């Protein structure tokens, strides 16, 4: 799944990443080793081809999950917009629209 996320990000950010050297920090060893796989299945082969476009510019670094805590906030459920949430934003009440009945 992490490899698919990397491929998705590379496709979406292509215009920003093309021609620049960048680093991908992940807690998944599979992402780091995908470029060196000898016999990948068809899904991983597609991912491998997509990542190889950036082979000279991408640096994939493995960082243990318990050290890599700052990224976990992006993958967790968001809190509900309730008054006990520190980021609570009161929403405006929906406007009341009077609907008149249809008469024959």
pLDDT band at 52 (very low <50, low <70, confident <90, very high): confident
Total structural domains within the chain? 1
Which structural domain range is residue 41 located in?
Answer: 2-75
pLDDT over 60 (residue 57): yes
In a domain, 94, yes or no: no
With cut-offs at 50, 70 and 90, classify the pLDDT of residue 29: confident
Please indicate, yes or no, if residue 15 is contained in any of the structural domains: yes
Confidence bin at 4 (pLDDT 50/70/90): confident
Count Cβ atoms within 10 A of the Cβ of residue 93 and give its class: 0-12 exposed, 13-18 middle, 19 or more buried.
exposed
pTM as predicted: 0.57
* Residue 28 within any structural domain of the chain: yes
Q: Are 23 and 59 in contact (CB under 8 A)?
A: yes
- 95 within domain boundaries: no
pLDDT at 18: 85
pLDDT-derived band of residue 66, with 50, 70 and 90 as boundaries?
low
């Amino acid at each position: 799944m992490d490899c698919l996320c990397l491929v998705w990000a590379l496709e979406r950010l292509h215009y920003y990443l093309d021609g620049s050297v960048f680093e991908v920090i992940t807690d998944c060893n599979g992402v780091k080793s995908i470029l060196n796989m000898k016999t990948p299945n068809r899904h991983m082969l597609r991912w491998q081809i997509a990542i190889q476009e950036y082979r000279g510019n991408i640096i994939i670094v493995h960082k243990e999950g318990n050290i890599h805590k700052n990224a976990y906030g992006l993958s967790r459920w968001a809190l509900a917009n309730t008054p006990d949430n520190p980021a609570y934003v009161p929403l405006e009440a929906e406007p009341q629209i009077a609907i008149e009945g249809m008469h024959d």
